[in-house]
Amino acid sequence: MPRKKTPTLPYVGYILALAGGIIIIVLGLFELFELGVRVFQNISLLSFFSGTAGALVQIVIGIVCAIGSRFVSKLVWAIVLLLLGIVAGTIGGTLVAFGAILGLVFILVKSAAK
């Protein structure tokens, strides 16, 4: 029987960051259209933005996270995604931050193996 291929750290980080980016976009759209869906307490650094401005910033952060998730195994993008995940807050930001941490762990392990 052929062995199952186990997912690598960058792939798992990519999936987490992509899912987090999509969640950030959806929550930003909910806030933009004032649907008022609050599953979790919004504890983020974006709390000083309110209303439409906060929703637009959240949507932009979500788009950057979703696009940048492909490059989670690159050092600069992993750091950018980690910072954006912290700034975004919510459950989506947490997923983005965890994905970025997995990318950073992969980069560290790869550089230590050289």
pLDDT of 8 > 90? The answer is no
pLDDT at residue 17 in the model? 96
Q: Are 97 and 53 in contact (CB under 8 A)?
A: no
Q: Distance from CA of residue 62 to its chain's centroid?
A: 7
Please give the average per-residue pLDDT across 18-43, as a whole number. 80
pLDDT digits (tens, 9 = 90+) for 48-78: 666 788 889 999 999 999 999 999 999 999 9
Q: What integer best gives the mean pLDDT of the chain?
A: 86
Residue 30 placed within a domain: yes
Tokens representing residue 44 in the block: 């983020």
Confidence of residue 37 (pLDDT cuts 50, 70, 90): low
User: Is residue 2 situated within a structural domain?
Assistant: no
Contacts of 110 (CB under 8 A, 6+ apart): none
**Assigned domain for 4 exists:** no
Instruction: Specify if 61 maps to a domain.
Output: yes
Q: 77 or 47: which carries more pLDDT confidence?
A: 77
**Residue 76 falls inside a structural domain:** yes
Q: How far apart are CA 55 and CA 30, in angstroms?
A: 8
Structural domain boundaries, residue 106: 9-113
Model confidence at 85: pLDDT above 80: yes
Q: Is residue 19 part of a domain?
A: yes
Could you tell me which residue, 36 or 11, shows the higher pLDDT? 11
Number of domains in the chain: 1
pLDDT at position 75: 94
